[in-house]
Structures are given as structure tokens and as C-alpha cells.
Structure 1
Amino acid sequence: MNSNLIENTLINLSFAILLFTLFVYWINIAFTNLKMLSNLGKICTLAVNLCLSSTLIIRWIENKYFPLSNLYESLIFLTWGLTLVHLILEQQNKSKLIGAINTPICLFIIAFTSFSLPSEMKKTVPLVPALRSNWLMMHVSIMMISYALLILGSLLSILFLIIYKVNLKNSNINQKRTNYRIQMSTSIANNSALYSDRMSILQIIDNLSYRIIGLGFPLLTIGIIAGAVWANDAWGSYWSWDPKETWALITWLIFAAYLHSRFSKSWAGEKPAILASIGFLVVWICYLGVNFLGKGLHSYGWLS
């Protein structure tokens, strides 16, 4: 069977499974006692990861180099990384929130990969001399895994802000209702319990986001250092202020500021979450935005 046909089948199957998985996780959020749905969500995510693993392996064998040389391959690898991180974190934390927020972003990436990218960008081409190095596998794979962790951690911070704002709004409404103590006494008691539950959820989300970003930041650091060593080997300079390098540094600084604020406890709650949410946008600018310009030393196989 044609390898391209197998790849397309696996990618389309991944899309279909992710769409089904999305409904599984969201229904599981609504009906918290259905343990069967949690297990089904994990099985579906594992199936997607295996499909993407097979796709990458096929391209690796067929082309005889690690499949991270163009936009199509990197998007597949990013989704593979997101599903892998999802499975590991969900196994450790037993949290349904991870699947509920990770599955939509994976579905979006695969949809973009399948339906938006032109077929020419999916084809493999011989590597340019700068990419014919073992650093391709080390540098790019570490960066992509760090992106997966930082994206997931930032998504949790965005969820934190949404729940925090809703909670704050409801708290203000409850404050205005205190003039109706007799009529609203039971309602206020129920709302107080709901407020307590939301505060507990906020703490869980905040801590989980902090831990995930704390894992992604060292990998980002290692990836940038590995990239600098590779750049010196390929271009004779450790740092050339290429657009990709500049935005990688901006990404590093934002998440360094986030972690510093958490370590020093100078900020808590909303402010670090806002910083991590900004980091979510910056990661995507670093990963995709600068490459859409088609300029710089990192535009090989993208839009150049």
C-alpha cells in the first residue's frame, strides 16, 4: 500500500477519534460519576498517540531522517507531544480537566494539518545542508515537547482566569443580595458552598498549571541551548538574532518571569495566570507566527 495513503488514513483517523474524544471528556465534566468515560477518554487519546506515532515512524523510515523538517511534520509531532503529555499527566493527577482542555487544541491542530495545508507542504523533500545533522532530532524534538508542556500549562491558566472572573462576578452579585437576608438566606448558603467549591477548583488548576509550566521551562532552556550549539556548528555563530531566536528568548523571559513570581511568592492567583496566558500567545507566535513571514534562518520547509 502507498505510504502516503497510509499516512493520510492515520491522520484522518486521528481527527475522527479526537472529535469523539472531545465529546467524551466534556460529557465526563458534566457527569462526574461516570468513571467509564474517564477510561474511554484515555483509551481514545492513546489511540490518537499511536496513530501519530505510526505516521512519524513511516516518514522516518521512508525518508531516512527524523521527521521534523517542515511545518506538516512539526504539527504532527506537536500533537503527538500534546497527547503524550496529556496521558502522563492524567495518569499522575487523575484530573479530567487536562483532557477537556487538551483535546480541543489537538483537534484544531490536526484539522489545520489535514484541511488547510496544501499538499505540496506535506511532501518530503531532500534536507538542506544545514538540517543534515543529529542536532535536528535533539534540538527540535526538545523544543516541541517544551511547547506542548507550556501550551497545556498556559491553557490551564486561561481556564483559571475564566473561572476566577465568573467567581468574582457571582461574588459581587451575592454581595448586592445581602439586603434580602430573609428571602435569600437559603440561596446565599448554597451560593457560599458553590463559592467554596470554585475556590477549591481554582487552587487545583493553579497548582497544576504551575507544575506543568515548571516542567516545560527547563526543556525550553535546554532546547534553546542546543539550538545555539547547532547554530554555531551550521552557521558559525551561537546567536544571530534571527526572528525565531528572538521570539524564543521572549518566550523564555515570559515564563521565567512567571516562575520567578511563583517562587518568590510576590504574585499569586490572577497576576501569574495573566502572565502565563500571555505566554500562550507568545509560544504560538514563536512556533508559527515568525515562520509565516517566510524570513529568517528557520524558515526551511515552511513557507519559503
Structure 2
Amino acid sequence: MTWDHHTGFAFASAVLWILGIIPAWNRVRKYYLWTIITYAAGIVVYAVFIGGLWVSQQRPPLATMGEVRLWYTLFLSFAGLITYMKWKFPWILPLSTVMALVFSALNILRPQIHSHVLMPALQSIWFIPHVTVYMFSYGLLACSFLLAVVGFFRPNDPIMPAIDKLTRAGFAFFTIGMLLGSIWARLAWGDYWTWDPKETWAAVTWLLYLLFFHIRKSQPEARKKMYLVLVLAFLSLQICWYGFQYLPGAQTSLHNYAL
């Protein structure tokens, strides 16, 4: 399996996802099982490509931004499906699918194919859990973000329980990812935290989600304020993930191997 196969697998996944979301969007309940099976099949197809790429490259496909986007697409589509199954919002699958397809399309246009050999800093037992846990948290928090955006336009929809659970789960995995990264940093660079641009924005993102929980507890009726914080937190997350490369000092960042 090589990057040349990505377009075919991505197209097959996209077709299955679209076939799955059509009845969900139209609230056709008798096709609920069809939606689940078809959409899950699309996720499996995408996962097969990632697994095949892993085997052919003889290393985890996590070293470049293009490879990391594969995992984000996978986990975001999975998080969208779980959210739909749990809360039955007819619009969550279309929204999460569009977001996932944007990143899948970026990998078709700009796959960022690099050497099969991992650079020394990435040859660590902490590499796989750190990145995959982060990507899973990003997928959950993306769904939380989408719910918050919808909340501005559909204030009567009962979305807060879903936002609570998705944000709590995403925040937990995000925190675990940070902790795994700090252990890895200590072993690789001699320090748990260096406050380079990526780490600084990770801290900002973490604090913004913490602010959401504070508002949720102290001002439970301030929904628009909570939605706004979630939107800002997700934007901060994008800077933490890839936007920091456009900031001053990015080229001296210890994380610039991922650009």
C-alpha cells in the first residue's frame, strides 16, 4: 500500500459516508441501521488504507502532517458516528463528514510524502500513543465544536448533554496526550516542557477548555458564552496542531519535524 492508493480509498470512504448520511439527514428512521452499517464501512475502508500504509512503510504513518491528517479524518468520522448513535442529531453526521472530507481532500492535493525512515526524535515508544491519543481527542473536540456552532443557530436543541460528554472525553484525552508528550520530551530533550510555540498553544487550548468547565459549573444558563469559549478553544487547537508553523519562532520549534 502506498500514497498512490489513497485517492481510491478516500473516494470509496466518501461514497459510503454520503450514502450513510442521506437517510440520517432526512430523518428516515427505518434506514437507521443502513446509516450505521454504511457509515461504519466507510470508516473501516479508511482504516484499512492506514493499516496498509503502516505495513508497507514499516513504520507508523504519523511522521508528517499529511499522515497525521489520515488519523484525524479517521477519528473525526468515528466520533461523528458515535455522536449520531448516542444522541440522534440528524445534522451531526453531515457536518462531521464535511469536516473529515476537507482533511481527506487536503491529503489528495498535498499528501506530504516523506522518507520511510523516522528521524531519531520520533523513534520512541511514546511516539504512537502521544500522537494517536491527541488525534482522538481532536476528533471528539471537533464534534463538540460543531455542536457549539449549531447551538448559536438552534438554541432550543437539547445539545448541552452531548457537548458536556464530548468535551469532557476530548479534554481527558487531550490531557493524557499532553502528559505522554511531556514524558517523551523529558527523555528526548531533557525537559518536560520548553514553552516553544506548539507547547504554548497546547497550554492555551487546555486552559480554554478548562474555562468552559468553569462557566458550565458557575453559570449553567450562559449557553452562548459556553458556545463561544468552545469555538475559541477549537480555533486555538487548530493553531496548536498546524497553525503555529506560521507564527514567529516556528522554525526554531522543537516540533518543526512535523511540518
TM-score, scaled relative to structure 1? 0.77
In 2, the alpha carbon distance for the partners of 1:226 and 1:239 equals 12
Cα pair 2:92 2:146 within 8 Å, conserved: no
Following superposition, the deviation at residue 6 of structure 1 comes to 3.2
Moved more, 106-115 or 84-93: 84-93
Output aligned runs, 1:6-21, within 5 Å. Answer: 6-21=5-20
Distance (Å, rounded) in 2 between the aligned partners of 1:88 and 1:260: 26
Q: 1:246-270 deviations in whole A, cap 9, x for unaligned? A: 0000100000000121123365211
Indicate conservation of the 8 Å contact 1:19/1:107, yes or no. no
Displacement of 1:129? 0.5
How many angstroms does 1:19 deviate by? 4.7
Indicate the residue corresponding to 1:256 in structure 2. Answer: 210
Q: Given the alignment of the two structures, is residue 127 of structure 1 paired with residue 118 of structure 2, yes or no?
A: yes
Is 1:231 paired with 2:230? no
Distance 1:98 1:13 in 2: 21
Q: How much does 1:80 deviate?
A: 0.6
Please show how residues 79-228 of structure 1 align to structure 2 within 5 Å.
79-115=73-109, 117=110, 121-164=112-155, 199=156, 201=157, 204-228=158-182
For residues 231 and 29 of structure 2, the distance between their equivalents in structure 1, rounded to whole angstroms, comes to 31
Choose from 43, 51, 64 the match for 1:49: 43
Q: CA deviation at 1:221?
A: 0.8
Q: Percent identity?
A: 27
Shift of 1:65: 2.1
Higher helix share: 1
Output the CA distance in 2 between the equivalents of 1:17 and 1:111: 16
* Aligned-pair CA distance for 1:228: 0.7
Alpha-carbon spacing, 1:292–1:125, altered in 2? closer, same or farther (3 Å): farther
Aligned residues: 256
Structural mapping, 1:282-293, within 5 Å: 282-292=236-246
In the aligned structure 2, how far is the partner of 1:271 from the partner of 1:102? 23
Q: State the distance in 2 between where 1:45 and 1:128 align.
A: 36
Given the two structures, how large is their TM-score scaled by the length of structure 2? 0.90
1:204-226 CA distances to partner (integer Å, 9 max, x unpaired)? 12221122101111111111111
Q: Answer yes or no: is the 8 Å Cα contact 1:10–1:52 preserved in 2.
A: yes
Q: Which amino acid aligns with 1:151?
A: A
| Equivalent position amino acid for 1:8 in 2 | T
Tell me, yes or no, if the aligned pair for 1:149 and 1:212 is still in contact at 8 Å.
Answer: yes
- After superposition, the CA RMSD in angstroms is 2.1
Q: Any gaps of 5 or more consecutive residues in structure 1?
A: 165-198
Contact 2:58 2:116 (C-alpha < 8 Å) held by counterparts: no
Does the 8 Å CA contact 2:10/2:104 hold for their aligned counterparts? yes
Consecutive unaligned residues of structure 2, counting only runs of 5 or more, are: none
The one of 72, 75, 78 aligned to 1:78: 72
Tell me which structure has the larger Cα radius of gyration.
1
Q: Distance in 2 between matches of 1:267 and 1:136?
A: 41
Pairwise CA distance, 1:95 = 3.0
CA distance in 1 between partners of 2:3 and 2:61 (Å): 14
